[in-house]
Amino acid sequence: MIQHSILEQRYNLPSDVQFCTKCIMPNTRPSSSNEYEHYTAKKHKYIEFDKKGVCSACRFCEAKFDGTINWDTREKELRELCNKFRKTDGSYDCVVPGSGGKDSCMAAYILKYEYDMHPLTVTWSPHLYTDVGWRNFQSWIHTGGFDNFLFTPNGKIHRLITRNAFLSLLHPFQPFIIGQKTFAVKMAVRFNIPLIFYGENPGEAGANVSINQAKFTPETNENEGFRLDFLQGKNLDEIYLGGTSVSEYLEQGVKKSDLLPYFPANPEEVIKNNTEFHYLGYYKNWHPQEAFYYAQQHCGFEVAPDRTASTYSKYNSIDDRTDDFFYYTTYIKFGYGRATQDASQEIRHGDITREEGVALAKKFDGEFPERYFKDFLEYIDISEEEFHAKVDSFRDPHLWEKDGNKWKLLYQLQ
């Protein structure tokens, strides 16, 4: 019982698992949170379901197709926005963050070649590039034709935080996510560029964002979907990286200067820069599969040579070998796998039916990502036994039971 209550405290999972009646996402999908407050006992918030049992991501997506949104008006809004920010003196007028995946390829290409903008693309490096990920990154720049800054934080520190994030949070991708959330903002401030364009709207994944929210500015800081003051005057005991406080790192001899790449931009500088954050997905009807075809055609984007572990797709999140373990650990902690995520998105966009999605999830969710296992263990410097013991310690008894030697989920997708 003691163990159970610790786990309850750790996750705050919904006590009754439900699956969305339109897609196949369960209500155990956590919503985005402040990573700097993420320590072992942190309670998550989860995706919301309405009275009809439909998830907020499905409702967000419906509005893209049912006439709620006038896409012609939004196209005009985008032209006006670009007219307002476009620079003619050769300097950059917007920042487009990305890795050269399908979404960042499409966003940068549209802005530069259809709207005559001059984007600076910026990349927070993956932990462990895959071969296809590196080729796609290069193609983005060389075939697509963009200026780019690739930033790779100190590899020793990145490994250390990744190891801690795996051991304390079972979340080895957290150091990458921190960079994704903060790096573009810092680059915008450094180059005095007041406009940052992200691709897909976070509402597509179930974040609590209105379909009518075009932008975020420092003044909309209170909004759930956008934050600037991640650190809110916290001291170093209260700021966590990989579930370990910054003071602990300092006590272990890590220099604060080596941790600074993981700190967010200074809010005052962001405000002084008049930075605005826009999602291209607000202005353009974002269809993930079309983004893939677009990136292939214009930026030479390639699919992975093999099917991605734990799912059926070949073109989503394929640039980092750590990615497989991000999805696998999500499956352990929240009980849904990578195929569920891919299929849910495709169901929402009418690419497959719910029945097909259920079959795909049942077939591929939870498949162990064998292909990069050795690389991953080496990277975070733990043994195979330690890996499995740690994974099992994060299984919540609400979700998992052991049947002989095998773990099985208590809730089955229907």
Binding-site ranges for Zn ion (CB under 5 A): 20, 22-23, 25, 55, 58
* Chain CA centroid to CA 256, Å: 26
The nearer residue to Zn ion, 58 or 117, going by C-beta atoms, is: 58
Q: Which is nearer to Zn ion, 47 or 195 (CB)?
A: 47
Shortest distance, CB of residue 53 to Zn ion, whole angstroms?
A: 9
Nearest distance in Å: CB 23, Zn ion: 3
Euclidean distance between CA atoms 298 and 342, whole angstroms: 24
The nearest distance, CB 347 to Zn ion, in angstroms, is 8
**Rounded CA separation 343/325 (Å):** 19
Query: C-beta of 50: minimal distance to Zn ion in Å?
Result: 10
> At which residue do the structure tokens 């990458």 appear?
176
Q: Which residues contact 233 (CB under 8 A, 6 or more apart)?
A: none
CB atoms within 10 A of CB 51: 5
Shortest Å distance, C-beta 341 to Zn ion: 11
Amino acid occupying residue 212: N
The whole-angstrom separation of Cα 24 and Cα 342 is 10
Judge whether 138 and 148 are in contact, CB under 8 Å.
Answer: no
Query: Smallest distance, Å, CB 31 to Zn ion?
Result: 14
| Minimum gap (Å) between residue 46 Cβ and Zn ion | 13
Name the residue nearer to Zn ion (CB basis): 29 or 284: 29
Kindly report the three-state secondary structure assignment for every residue of 298-364: HHCCCCCCCCCCCCCCCCCCCCECCHHHHHHHHHHHHCCCHHHHHHHHHHHCCCCCHHHHHHHHHHH
Number of H helices, E strands in the chain: 17, 10
Q: Which is nearer to Zn ion, 48 or 258 (CB)?
A: 48
Q: In this complex, which beta carbon is closest to Zn ion, that of residue 19 or of residue 197?
A: 19
* CA angle 300–305–311, rounded 5-degree value: 110
CA 367 to chain centre: 21
Shortest Å, Cβ 25 to Zn ion: 5
CA distances from 366 to 326, 337, 363 (A): 12, 6, 9
Nearer to Zn ion, 9 or 353 (CB): 353
- Cβ 24 to Zn ion, closest distance in Å? 7
Give the residue with the Cβ less far from Zn ion, 56 or 273: 56
Is the Cβ of residue 58 or residue 246 nearer to Zn ion in the bound state? Answer: 58
CB of 270 to Zn ion, least distance (A): 33
Amino acid letter, residue 279 = Y
Q: Smallest gap, in angstroms, from Cβ of residue 18 to Zn ion? A: 11
Cβ–Cβ < 8 Å for 154, 261: yes
User: Which CA distances in Å does 58 have to 63, 71, 103, 276, 334?
Assistant: 9, 18, 20, 27, 19
Please give the backbone phi and psi of residue 78, each rounded to the nearest 5 degrees, phi first.
Answer: -65, -40
In one-letter notation, the amino acid at residue 68 is T
Q: For 384, left (φ over 0), alpha (ψ -120 to 50), or beta?
A: alpha
Q: Give the residue with the Cβ less far from Zn ion, 35 or 204.
A: 204
DSSP 3-state of 96: strand
In the complex with Zn ion, which residue's Cβ is closer, 23 or 228?
A: 23
Nearer to Zn ion, 25 or 184 (CB): 25
